[in-house]
Amino acid sequence: MSFIGVSLKLQKVRTLSLLSRILLLISCSWVTTAYAGQEYRAPTVIEASDVFFPTAGPPVAAISLLVTVESDGRVSETQIIDSVGSTLSGEPYQGTLVGYVEDSVAAVKQWRFSPAIDLTFKRTRSVASIIFIYERVFDLGADTTVIPAIKTVSPKAGEYLPPLASRASRAEYPLRSYISTARPTVVLKLRIEADGFISGLDIIRSVPALDEPAARTVRTFQFQPARYEGKASRSTAIVAFVFLPPVKRD
């Protein structure tokens, strides 16, 4: 092979190598840019069931927890962030909320989750934020029962912390509606912006007569936004409304 031929071949190899590097840089840049415009893909509930309601306790309660979901969708850990209750008169409930906590943890362990997706679009271990709102329904008309403020926590350095509710409300139960289940549960997935604003929601578990009241109420919630690598981030949170309707008297 002539010297000119060898030179041309080497030049072609260098050109192809340079093009490959350029394409790789463009690809990495596109993935990063595309991901940056999306929410942090936290794990989410894809199938939920009704939740048991404690036999004793306050008429309204909120349980905020973090759930660690493995890359296979399995729940491996639960961490209670806060548990608060309220009396019918609107005063903070001073008794124990152990039953509410136990029922919340038992529920998430039965639900099916879709795991988080990392920057390379692979399934990964991550944490989901879930808040349960329990409400005993009394045929007393509207009342002034409110839920006390819910505490939040700060993220650890370099870790992802999903949105956490800091203020929640009870939903208005339509007393005249027919509900076929004894413990109706509405489960919603919320999209929380980096400023804590609720920009949208999806209904994961539906109870037709209760979907609209739950969706309307959840938009009044206040959230501490997610944080990822030290910065506020768009992400998702799960809210479950659990009702215990009044017993019908003959």
In angstroms, the CA 206 to CA 226 distance is 26
Q: How many residues in the chain?
A: 250
Q: Are 66 and 79 in contact (CB under 8 A)?
A: yes
Question: Could you tell me if 31 and 44 lie in one domain?
Answer: no
Angle, alpha carbons 119-125-127 (nearest 5°): 100
- Higher pLDDT among residues 142 and 214, named by residue: 214
Average pLDDT over residues 99-103: 96
Question: Could you tell me if 116 and 237 lie in one domain?
Answer: yes
3-state secondary structure of 208: helix
Question: Could you tell me if 94 and 26 lie in one domain?
Answer: no
Task: Judge if pTM exceeds 0.95.
Answer: no
Q: Is pLDDT above 70 for 7? A: no
Question: Could you tell me if 187 and 88 lie in one domain?
Answer: yes
In angstroms, the CA 207 to CA 184 distance is 7
Question: Could you tell me if 3 and 124 lie in one domain?
Answer: no
How many domains does the chain fold into?
A: 2
Question: Could you tell me if 20 and 66 lie in one domain?
Answer: no
213: which residues sit within 8 A by CB, 6+ positions away?
A: 171, 172, 173, 174
Identify the CATH number of the domain in which residue 156 sits: 3.30.2420.10
Question: Could you tell me if 63 and 187 lie in one domain?
Answer: yes
Average pLDDT over residues 152-175: 91
Question: Could you tell me if 61 and 141 lie in one domain?
Answer: yes
Query: Domain range holding 15?
Result: 1-37
Q: Whole-number mean pLDDT of the chain?
A: 84
Question: Could you tell me if 102 and 65 lie in one domain?
Answer: yes
Q: Are 59 and 146 in contact (CB under 8 A)?
A: no
Question: Could you tell me if 32 and 71 lie in one domain?
Answer: no
Lowest mean pLDDT among 3-17, 24-38, 94-108: 24-38
Q: Is residue 86 part of a domain?
A: yes
Q: pLDDT band for position 194 (50/70/90)?
A: very high
Q: Is residue 164 part of a domain?
A: yes
If 0-12 CB within 10 Å is exposed, 13-18 middle and 19+ buried, where does residue 30 land? exposed
Q: Residues 18-53: pLDDT tens digits? A: 555 544 443 443 333 333 334 577 899 999 999 999
